[in-house]
């Protein structure tokens, strides 16, 4: 029961975090009111604010990323036990569950990511243009697979691309027009190369995880997974993949939103309070950094201790046998 409550609580917290961030990206259900302290946003429709144009896409993509991260943690620990020949029955069972969840979550991550990108093209075209390094508006827009952007020259230093693919992904046909950064003032454009690199890192790692989950599931289905030590070692370190992809995705979303705190309404440069000094900002950043480093250290220590300790004895006893075991002890 406690496990399910923690799971539900984590999901509910993700809802409101995603909604708040989505409102900053695609604000809706509000009006700007003039007050004695200057203009402020006033919510006029709560549900329109909650279900703004990007909230469902962002929430679903975030939750799939969380499920994927959890699944690969289970896979990593299971592979570690198998390589060390410890808790093998437990590890084989948990590996099968982890691979199943990882495969489903990885597929859904691609699906929700595509839906989110289509929404970005509609609601934040400057961000999509930065994600793909597109300065010119055109049809048959190519999809960049990898590259490096020279922001001074407003062009790629090098680029590997698929002709027409970006238009097809956004509009469903290669003749669709994709807006370029040339339509936006320089001061309204996000940092292009940083947005491009973070976005493509997220996509590359995401497809890599899908391939790894698929490969592991294939060998598991054939009954040969536990014979391939090279693959088990890959699965041990695959736990880092979802963390890298999730962080790269958030960086892409937030860097790509610039120069806005609230897209189209409030600039980042205007968001700092005049009464907050640089010393206070620095102090808060240092304190937050110290606190979260300490929390991470405690988390890493406890997780490492739990992994090396292994599952409790009761975790290895079937539920029916567990009841008999307890009655015998009584």
Q: Which two tokens stand for residue 287?
A: 């304190």
Considering only CA atoms, which of 68, 55, 61 is closest in space to residue 20?
55
Q: Which two tokens stand for residue 220?
A: 């598991």
Strand positions, DSSP E, 52-175: 143-150, 155-162
Q: Which two tokens stand for residue 109?
A: 């991550």
Task: Give 214-257 pLDDT, tens digit per residue.
Answer: 999 999 999 899 889 999 999 999 999 999 999 999 999 999 99
Going from N- to C-terminal start, the domains of the chain cover: 56-271, 275-322
Considering only CA atoms, which of 60, 64, 61 is closest in space to residue 101?
64
Residue carrying the six token digits 């995880």: 209
pLDDT at residue 327 above 60? no
- The per-residue b/e assignment along 26-40, b for 16 or more CB within 10 angstroms, e otherwise, is bbbbbeeeeeeeeee
Cα torsion for 136, 137, 141, 144, to the nearest 10°? 40
Task: Give 41-56 pLDDT, tens digit per residue.
Answer: 899 999 999 999 999 9
Kindly indicate the confidence band of residue 181, based on its pLDDT and cuts at 50, 70 and 90: very high
Considering only CA atoms, which of 33, 25, 32 is closest in space to residue 52?
25
pLDDT of 126: 95
Kindly indicate the confidence band of residue 188, based on its pLDDT and cuts at 50, 70 and 90: very high
Q: Which two tokens stand for residue 15?
A: 């809802």
DSSP 123: H
Give the C-alpha distances (Å, rounded to integers) separating 8 from 4, 242, 258.
6, 21, 33
| Distance (Å, whole) CA 212 – CA 298 | 30
Kindly indicate the confidence band of residue 316, based on its pLDDT and cuts at 50, 70 and 90: low
In angstroms and rounded to an integer, the radius of gyration of the C-alpha atoms of the chain is 24
Give 185's contacts (C-beta < 8 A, 6+ positions apart): none
| Distance (Å, whole) CA 220 – CA 249 | 30
Considering only CA atoms, which of 7, 6, 110, 100 is closest in space to residue 60?
110
| Three state DSSP letters for 22-83 | HHHHCCCCEEEEEECCEEEEEECCHHHHHCCCCHHHHHHHHHHHHHHHHHHHHHHHHHHHHH
């Amino acid at each position: 029961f406690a496990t399910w409550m923690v799971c539900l609580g984590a999901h509910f917290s993700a809802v409101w975090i995603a909604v708040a961030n989505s409102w900053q990206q695609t604000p809706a259900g509000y009006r700007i009111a003039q007050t004695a302290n200057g203009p402020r946003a006033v919510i006029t429709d709560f549900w329109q604010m909650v279900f703004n144009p990007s909230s469902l896409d962002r929430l679903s993509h975030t939750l799939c990323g969380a499920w994927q991260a959890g699944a690969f943690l289970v896979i990593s620990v299971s592979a570690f036990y198998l390589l060390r020949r410890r808790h093998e029955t437990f590890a084989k069972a948990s590996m099968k569950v982890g691979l199943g969840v990882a495969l489903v979550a990885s597929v859904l991550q691609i699906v929700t990511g595509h839906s989110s990108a289509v929404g970005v093209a509609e609601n934040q075209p400057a961000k999509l243009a930065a994600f793909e390094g597109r300065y010119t508006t055109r049809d048959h827009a190519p999809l960049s697979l990898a590259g490096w952007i020279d922001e001074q020259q407003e062009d790629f230093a090098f680029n590997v691309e698929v002709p027409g693919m970006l238009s097809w992904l956004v509009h469903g046909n290669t003749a669709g027009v994709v807006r370029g950064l040339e339509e936006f003032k320089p001061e309204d454009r996000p940092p292009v190369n940083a947005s491009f690199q973070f976005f493509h890192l997220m996509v590359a790692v995401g497809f890599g995880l899908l391939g790894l989950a698929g490969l592991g599931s294939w060998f598991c289905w054939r009954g040969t997974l536990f014979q391939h030590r090279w693959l088990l070692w890959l699965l041990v370190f695959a736990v880092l993949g979802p963390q890298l992809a999730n962080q790269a995705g958030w960086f892409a979303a937030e860097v790509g939103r610039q120069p806005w705190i609230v897209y189209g309404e409030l600039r980042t440069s205007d968001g700092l309070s005049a009464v907050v000094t640089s010393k206070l900002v620095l102090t808060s950043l240092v304190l937050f950094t110290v606190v979260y480093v300490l929390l991470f250290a405690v988390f890493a220590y406890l997780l490492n201790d739990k992994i090396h300790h292994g599952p409790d004895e009761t975790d290895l006893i079937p539920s029916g046998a567990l009841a008999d075991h307890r009655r015998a002890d009584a």
